[in-house]
Amino acid sequence: MSQALPIPLSDEEKAAALRRMKIMAGSMILVMAAVFLASRFLAPMTPWVEIPGAFAEAALVGGLADWFAVTALFRHPLGIPIPHTAIVPRNQARIGSTLGRFVANNFLKPEEVTAKLRQIDLPRIIADWLDKPENRHRAAERMAKSVPGILNALDDEDVGRFMQTNLSARVRDIGVAPILGQIVQLLTNEGHHQRLLDELLERAARLVHDNRELIEKRVDEQLPRWLPKAVDRAVYQKVLAALDNTLEEIRNPEGPWRQQFDEATRAFVHELRTSPEMRAKGEDFLHRLLSNDTLKQYFRDIARSLKERIQKDALSDDSALRRQIDSAMRVYGETLTRDPAIRETLQHWIEQAVNSTVVGRREQIGEWIGSIVQKWDPDTIVTKLETQVGRDLQFIRINGTVVGGLIGLCLYLVERLI
């Protein structure tokens, strides 16, 4: 069973701990000074007090020496500008650049970053996170609610222009004439062109039947006025008969009209697929179509309509967009859980992304760290560093006091034995 990681202290808690340690270290020096003075006062009357006096004397020297050393790191002891003191503020620029290089060269090496990413196993963390419905619901809701703001930042005309430009490029790239030729070829191979012609003929016959009076009127207008009505009527009847006979002949699947139509269709297909002239005509037609102001307005209207519909759905309580996002995250989470290959692909993508964005710019990151440290006020950097490591430095003072006292005691005993 793994141990829980300790909760890191806040800067305020670290500062309070530093103050307590300073008081403790300072109090030990004061106590040693008091013992030393007392031993000197009592030594003539009580010789044995020289033993604690020797300890206190050496402890006082050790404690003061370590106090000087620790204080000299951050400021001038007692405010006296002694050479080689206040080391941190005097070397702030060098500390910043050194710190930046240290981080870049030791923490941002490709092998170190990759090993750490492998250890963290982000794909597994993502899969476990997506496995919890409350996480998916919360993320889907936030993503859906962010959509209206994103869409509001988009201009309808810009979106419409983007749609038109991309559609134009795609259509020009694929070549409309050959594709149209393939479509007509497919219709021809399956006989759809003949059925289409039958439908057109049926509609033409109905059109002639429904407009007999209009046809008679048009025939009468074209004939001389001096002709008798009976002649007009006879001509009209012959025109109708000719129309009906022609339509009937075209309806005949084995008739010459059908054969000519089939041959013309196949020739048209061949020309669409191979003729540079037809290709040029098709591209010219598309250019004029896609440049049409009505079509441009149509694209703008589509963009505005889509935006309004998506915004309305995203803000509704029963948002289809939110459900789709939730469902997509659930499916992706399940895929990550059961498919090691997908996890490995995601892991590889994460490593590539981090290595290209972070590791690939580690020198710039090191310089950035150094520039930030150099911009800090000297008091700020002293406070930050002392807050982070000052408590441990106070232990050096305490240890110096104790060790100094023990060394002094040993020297006193050796002197007495000799």
pLDDT at residue 3, rounded to an integer: 45
Q: Any idea which of 22-31, 108-117, 204-213 has the lowest mean pLDDT?
A: 204-213
pLDDT, average across residues 168-175: 61
| 29 band by pLDDT with thresholds 50, 70 and 90 | very high
More confident residue, 296 or 4: 296
The arithmetic mean of pLDDT across residues 340-366, rounded, is 89
274-285 pLDDT tens trace: 667 766 766 666
261: left (phi over 0), alpha (psi -120 to 50) or beta: alpha
Place of tokens 């441009």: 296
CA-CA distance, 110 to 116, in Å (whole number)? 10
**Cα 255 to Cα 258: distance, rounded to the nearest angstrom:** 6
Give the whole-angstrom CA distance, residue 346 versus residue 127. Answer: 11
Distance CA 369, CA 105 (A): 13
User: Cβ neighbours of residue 117 under 8 Å, at least 6 residues apart?
Assistant: 347, 350, 351, 354
Q: Please determine, for residue 2, whether its predicted confidence score (pLDDT) is greater than 60.
A: no
Instruction: Output the CA–CA distances (angstroms, integers) from residue 412 to 31, 146, 269, 383, 405, in the order listed.
Output: 20, 78, 116, 41, 10
Q: Is the pLDDT of residue 397 over 80?
A: yes
Indicate whether 5 pLDDT > 50. no
d(CA 357, CA 44): 76
Q: Taking the model in full, what pTM does it have?
A: 0.50
Indicate whether 203 pLDDT > 50. yes
Asked if 331 and 338 touch (Cβ cutoff 8 Å), the reply is: no
- Angle at the Cα of 200 from the Cα atoms of 206 and 282, rounded to 5 degrees: 145
Contacts by 277-281 with C-beta closer than 8 Å and gap 24+?
278/177, 279/175, 279/177, 279/178, 281/177
Provide the pLDDT for residue 254: 76
Angle at 145 between CA 140 and CA 149, to 5 degrees: 140
Render pLDDT for 371-393 as a digit per residue (tens, 0 to 9): 888 888 888 888 888 888 888 89
